[in-house]
């Protein structure tokens, strides 16, 4: 288990009724099925509240430090919007080159500093394990918003919330992950998270060089889920309920020539999708480069823009949970 915050600071609330209060969120491995159902229930309530009233005061007086060492549009702005829609405030640090990081400050010291001013810290960092390192030095909850090619737990939570809202279930699904499964942290987290559900089959479609890491496949295997790697999409597309497309993670390649070789390995077009079910969905954590053609956007199965919106509700739920208000 990841370390719990060392110094709980909320003077109220029964921790039995707020089980996520003060906890770091570092990996999807922390979430039992019951935890997931609970989080989705809170996210669903957040959705209703946002649609009805827009902004409300659940986290009034609370401060989020949003610390991003890597580029981000959706994750950083949805966390900021989530905090503000709950009546809280944000310290945004997305240009670490203008912070003391540029003077050589270590991650533990930066996190210690932000913990003096904020109640919760959202961190994105290029190194695997950075969120756990930050958490070990933070007296305030740290939420992992992506640690290199490691995990992206809040994305996996919003991805599964999307599946639940769109298809009405998280059991008995064939989920096909496509693209960069080696460096794509979102698929590492999502594959792990889906092991909590029943009747899930996982297909991994990728170039040979970008296969799903052995470590993740071992974990999925240990939970007894059927899974198989493929080089081509055609054999598995007709059975697919969720096609999860990913961007080839250019920034994680040491060799630019190796990136050039695989960057256009798969492109989803209306023509390709003619072979898929009518009641399936296509997801993508975004940003998209060339892997889904713009012509497909008008297809009702294209769920990736709706997926971004679900992210707001899930991140509102997570902030409320770790601050003891859900």
Binding mask 249-268 for ligand NCD (x = CB under 6 A): --------------------
- Is residue 286 at the binding interface for ligand NCD, with CB under 6 A as the rule? yes
**Residue 10 CB, nearest approach to ligand NCD (Å):** 29
Cβ neighbors of 135 (< 8 A, separation 6 or more) are: 2, 3, 24, 26, 142
Using DSSP bridges, classify how beta strands 200-205 and 173-178 pair: parallel, antiparallel or unpaired.
parallel
Candidates 123, 127, 182, 179; CA nearest to 154 is 123
- Is residue 146 at the binding interface for ligand NCD, with CB under 6 A as the rule? yes
d(CA 246, CA 58): 34
* Closer CB to ligand NCD, 151 or 241, in the complex: 151
**Residue 149 CB, nearest approach to ligand NCD (Å):** 9
Q: Per DSSP, what are the bridge partners of residue 281?
A: 242
* Closer CB to ligand NCD, 45 or 70, in the complex: 70
* Closer CB to ligand NCD, 34 or 287, in the complex: 287
Angle among Cα 52, 56, 61 to the nearest 5 degrees reads 170
* Closer CB to ligand NCD, 74 or 230, in the complex: 74
Helix ranges (H only) for the chain are 33-53, 74-85, 107-117, 130-136, 153-167, 185-194, 214-222, 256-262, 270-273, 304-322
- Number of residues binding to ligand NCD, judged by CB under 6 A: 10
- Is residue 315 at the binding interface for ligand NCD, with CB under 6 A as the rule? no
Binding mask 188-217 for ligand NCD (x = CB under 6 A): ------------------------------
d(CA 1, CA 30): 7
Using DSSP bridges, classify how beta strands 227-230 and 63-68 pair: parallel, antiparallel or unpaired.
unpaired
Binding mask 61-80 for ligand NCD (x = CB under 6 A): -------------xx-----
- Is residue 155 at the binding interface for ligand NCD, with CB under 6 A as the rule? yes
- Is residue 324 at the binding interface for ligand NCD, with CB under 6 A as the rule? no
Task: Read off φ and ψ for residue 140, nearest 5 degrees.
Answer: -115, 155
Summarize as ranges the residues that interact with ligand NCD (CB under 6 A): 74-75, 146, 152, 155, 185-186, 247, 285-286
């Amino acid at each position: 288990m990841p370390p719990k915050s060392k110094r709980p600071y909320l003077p109220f609330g029964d921790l039995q009724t707020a089980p996520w209060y003060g906890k770091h969120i570092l990996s999807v491995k922390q979430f039992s099925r019951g935890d997931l159902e609970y989080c989705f229930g809170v996210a669903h309530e957040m959705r209703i509240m946002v649609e009805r009233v827009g902004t409300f005061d659940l986290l009034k007086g609370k401060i989020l430090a949003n610390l991003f060492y890597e580029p981000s549009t959706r994750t950083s702005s949805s966390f900021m919007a989530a905090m503000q829609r709950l009546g809280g405030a944000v310290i945004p640090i997305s240009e670490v080159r203008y912070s003391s990081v540029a003077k050589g400050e270590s991650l533990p010291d930066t996190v210690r500093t932000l913990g003096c001013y904020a109640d919760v810290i959202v961190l994105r960092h290029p190194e695997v394990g950075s969120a756990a390192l930050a958490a070990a030095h933070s007296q305030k909850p740290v939420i992992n918003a992506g640690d290199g090619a490691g995990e992206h737990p809040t994305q996996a939570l919003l991805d599964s919330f999307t599946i639940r809202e769109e298809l009405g279930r998280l059991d008995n699904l064939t989920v096909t992950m496509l693209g960069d499964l080696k460096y794509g942290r979102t698929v590492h987290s999502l594959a792990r998270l889906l092991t909590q559900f029943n009747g899930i089959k996982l297909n991994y479609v990728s170039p040979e060089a970008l296969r799903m890491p052995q470590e993740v496949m071992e974990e999925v295997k240990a939970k007894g889920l059927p899974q198989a790697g493929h080089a081509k999409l055609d054999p598995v597309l007709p059975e697919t309920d969720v096609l999860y497309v990913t961007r080839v993670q250019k920034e994680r390649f040491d060799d630019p020539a190796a990136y050039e070789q695989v960057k256009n390995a798969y492109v989803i077009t209306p023509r390709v999708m003619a072979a898929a079910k009518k009641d399936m969905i296509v997801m993508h954590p975004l940003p998209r480069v060339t892997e889904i053609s713009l012509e497909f956007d008008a297809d009702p199965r294209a769920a990736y823009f709706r997926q971004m919106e679900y992210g707001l509700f899930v991140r509102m739920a997570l902030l409320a949970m770790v601050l003891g208000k859900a």
